Amino acid sequence: MSLFAPLVFASVVATMVSRSFFGIGPWYRVPAFDFPSLIQLPWFVILGSLAGVLGASFLKMLQYSEEAFGKLRWPLSGKLALGGFAVGALAVFVPEVWGNGYSVTNRILHGELIETPFPILFLAGIFFAKWLGTAITVGSGAVGGVFTPTLFLGAGLGSLFGLVLHRIGWATDLEVGAFALVGMGSVLAATIHSPLLAVIMIFEISLNYSLMPPLMLGCVVATLVARRFHAESIYTEPLRRKGLEVERESQHLGAATMQTVGDLMREPVRPLRDTATFREIADRFLTCSNNFLPVVDGDRRLLGMVALQDMKEYLNAGQELNSVIAFDLMRPPPPGLTPNQKLLAALPILLASELRNIPVINNPAESKLVGNLVRAEALALLSEAIANRTMPAR
């Protein structure tokens, strides 16, 4: 969360600079699709599942390709030459593998490729060719990127799925391009393991809001399925192979909640004896910043708490103040925290307490004051751990 502000600032600046040069037009020209009925949503659950399997398979394919090229005892220039030769040979038969895939993806979205004599075979051919060509390119060490090829594969998968449904006679009221657009987002979500980011990015590059419900559903399902088959995303996998561990949300949250009160406990606020006079209590409040002071007996057992505001009713008293002691002013002790108590178990007490420094006792039976827990510090630790669950990691 500490990086959120500079991230937003950098994103805004980058967006405005980009728009000043290239305008605000969408990357892909997407027709206006309508989503007429909720009964069509199950098709996108199936598409999301297929996209999850495709995303995990694509990541494994990239990994196998890099390992295969890594076994060659060739210089980098030789590996690049081999990769270029393989992709060039593939492009002789399927020229659609060239480039970043913008033009072909746009043709898929507009349904132009389904007008060929054998659309399913044609789409399947360029789909597998692009898959293989991207794997060879990445494995050989060439710098080409995998973002747009991922969108290409997603569009191809969605278009194939829609074509098969139409041939069977199902979902005929939905255009093939609608399946292609949802497929783009779903495969992207499956490879980056971040459904919300995929939804936003597909909306940004298409500026088409009509398919948001099935797009969100497909992205979530694809992410869940892909994580089941491949734990790493397309961006964390290279880091893992280089020995750089990416902090996981579950690990971060677990590390915080597995901490105990004793891990954060500080020295106790200097307590008052139960026999302390009103004058002694007043002097203590004047010399410290606490609004509550613990009261203990001779064995340091916590008896209660004296609140600064509870002393106001005695301000106009006369000689009778000499007979008022801490035992007369104290409130009942708050629910006790113990050093071995988990922070997560202490959360209800932290939320309900009005104390800045919550007393910690050794155990409920003896109730001896041994320390205090700073409420704001404990809540901040738990809040940060929960907030980090939004990071695009598993």
Same domain for 186 and 268:
no
Element (H, E) at 358: strand 357-361
3-state secondary structure of 44: helix
Tens digit of pLDDT at every position of the chain (394 positions): 456 788 788 888 988 888 888 777 666 777 777 776 778 889 999 999 999 999 999 999 998 998 899 888 889 899 999 999 999 999 999 988 887 788 888 888 888 887 778 889 989 999 999 999 999 998 888 866 788 889 999 999 999 999 999 999 998 888 898 899 999 999 999 999 989 889 988 887 776 677 788 999 999 999 999 999 988 888 877 766 655 554 554 444 555 666 888 888 899 999 999 999 888 888 888 888 888 999 999 999 999 999 988 887 776 676 777 788 889 889 999 888 999 888 888 888 888 888 889 999 999 889 999 999 998 888 888 777 666 554 444 4
Angle, vertex CA 43, rays to CA 213 and CA 214, nearest 5: 10
Residue 390's pLDDT is what?
45
Same domain for 196 and 272:
no
Please give the biggest Cα pair distance in the chain.
106
Is residue 17 in some structural domain?
A: no
Is residue 255 in some structural domain?
A: no
Residue 295's pLDDT is what?
94
Is residue 4 in some structural domain?
A: no
Burial degree of 107 (CB within 10 A; 0-12, 13-18, 19+): middle
Is residue 267 in some structural domain?
A: yes
Residue 392's pLDDT is what?
45
Is residue 3 in some structural domain?
A: no
CATH code of the domain covering residue 302: 3.10.580.10
Same domain for 296 and 214:
no
Burial degree of 336 (CB within 10 A; 0-12, 13-18, 19+): middle
Query: What is each CA distance from 286 to 283, 293, 308, in whole angstroms?
Result: 5, 12, 10
Is residue 12 in some structural domain?
A: no
Angle, vertex CA 91, rays to CA 88 and CA 93, nearest 5: 130
- The pair of three-digit structure tokens given for residue 217, joined into one six-digit string: 């559903």
Query: Under a CB-based contact definition with an 8 Å cutoff, are residues 334 and 322 in contact?
Result: no
- What is the Cα–Cα distance from 153 to 184, expressed in whole angstroms? 7
Is residue 8 in some structural domain?
A: no
Same domain for 289 and 215:
no
Same domain for 310 and 205:
no
Residue 257's pLDDT is what?
61
Same domain for 316 and 235:
no
Angle, vertex CA 210, rays to CA 208 and CA 212, nearest 5: 90
Query: Under a CB-based contact definition with an 8 Å cutoff, are residues 191 and 392 in contact?
Result: no
Q: How many domains does the chain have?
A: 2
Same domain for 201 and 172:
yes
Domain with 78 in it:
27-246
Query: Under a CB-based contact definition with an 8 Å cutoff, are residues 328 and 263 in contact?
Result: no
Same domain for 381 and 320:
yes
Same domain for 238 and 90:
yes
